[in-house]
Amino acid sequence: MDVHEAIARRRAIREYTDEPIREDVVDRVVRAALEAPSAFNLQLRDVVVIRDPETKRMLSESSRQAQFEAADTVLVFVARAEALPEDAADILPADYLARVKKVKESMPPAALREAAMKDTMLAAGFALVAASAEGLATSPTTGWNEEAVKELIGLGGREDRGIGLVVAMGHPAVEAPHPGRQDSRRVDERYA
Ligand SMILES: Cc1cc2nc3c(=O)[nH]c(=O)nc-3n(C[C@H](O)[C@H](O)[C@H](O)COP(=O)(O)O)c2cc1C
């Protein structure tokens, strides 16, 4: 399947069969997510791969969204809302890192969170397309309590972490019609 077909076939699907997703397929989707570009290549996002039934059940319970429990796998896209990751020196050459450090350390927490969220959501978008290319269904969500999700994945109380998208993923049990897109969302050159 080429990338255009994977994008065109993707729908938000919330019901899944019991067929497990093969480990190598999960790995490919996660790798695709982590292949997404990020500002300064600092990769200020993590992907938490949840396959444990009890954790998925608790996610469903706390968010009142049944698709997490129903899904084979849930991917939680975590924003690292910090100036620099602990491994920044492994990623960037020292002189460049010194310049980036100056810029990032001058940013207030809200701006750091926003920057990390941009990295996070882009990685999540890559995962949605990669999953579609594997014939999998996904349900991207933001309808949950951030603190409850953080607690469940071991980040309770961490101010320097945020949740971008929580994605349920499984083999589709249903089909969904295309809900439509507005042509008016394309703007050529500038707003009139
Ligand atoms: C940022 C974002 C947040 C969303 N949050 C939820 C959610 O909390 N629960 C849910 O069932 N669907 C959620 N959706 C799915 C959308 O409702 C769905 O993507 C949209 O209706 C378009 O349908 P399509 O994905 O099939 O094209 C979310 C989608 C996005 C992109």
Give the tokens for residue 51.
């396959």
Atom of ligand 1 nearest to the CA of 11: 26
Q: How far apart are CA 154 and CA 17, in angstroms?
A: 29
Rounded to 5 degrees, what angle do the CA atoms 59, 61, 62 make? Answer: 70
**7 burial class (0-12, 13-18, 19+ CB within 10 angstroms)?**
middle
Q: How far is CA 106 from CA 54, 84, 99, 102, in A?
A: 41, 12, 11, 6
Of all protein residues, whose CA lies closest to atom 7 belonging to ligand 1?
141
Ligand 1 center to 110 CA (angstroms): 25
pLDDT tens digits, 135-154:
999 999 999 999 999 999 99
Ligand 1 binding pocket (C-beta < 6 A) is 11-12, 14, 65, 139-143, 176, 179
- At 60, is the secondary structure helix, strand, or coil? helix
pLDDT tens digits, 64-75:
999 999 999 999
Ligand 1 center to 89 CA (angstroms): 37
pLDDT at 1: 86
Of all protein residues, whose CA lies closest to atom 17 belonging to ligand 1?
12
pLDDT at 127: 99
Ligand 1 center to 72 CA (angstroms): 18
Going residue by residue through the chain (192 aa), what tens digit of pLDDT does each one get? Answer: 899 999 999 999 999 999 999 999 999 999 999 999 999 999 999 999 999 999 999 999 999 999 999 999 999 999 999 999 999 999 999 999 999 999 999 999 999 999 999 999 999 999 999 999 999 999 999 999 999 999 999 999 999 999 999 999 999 999 999 999 999 999 999 999
The structural domains of the chain, ordered by start, are 3-175 (3.40.109.10)
Ligand 1 center to 128 CA (angstroms): 11
Q: How far apart are CA 150 and CA 76, in angstroms?
A: 10
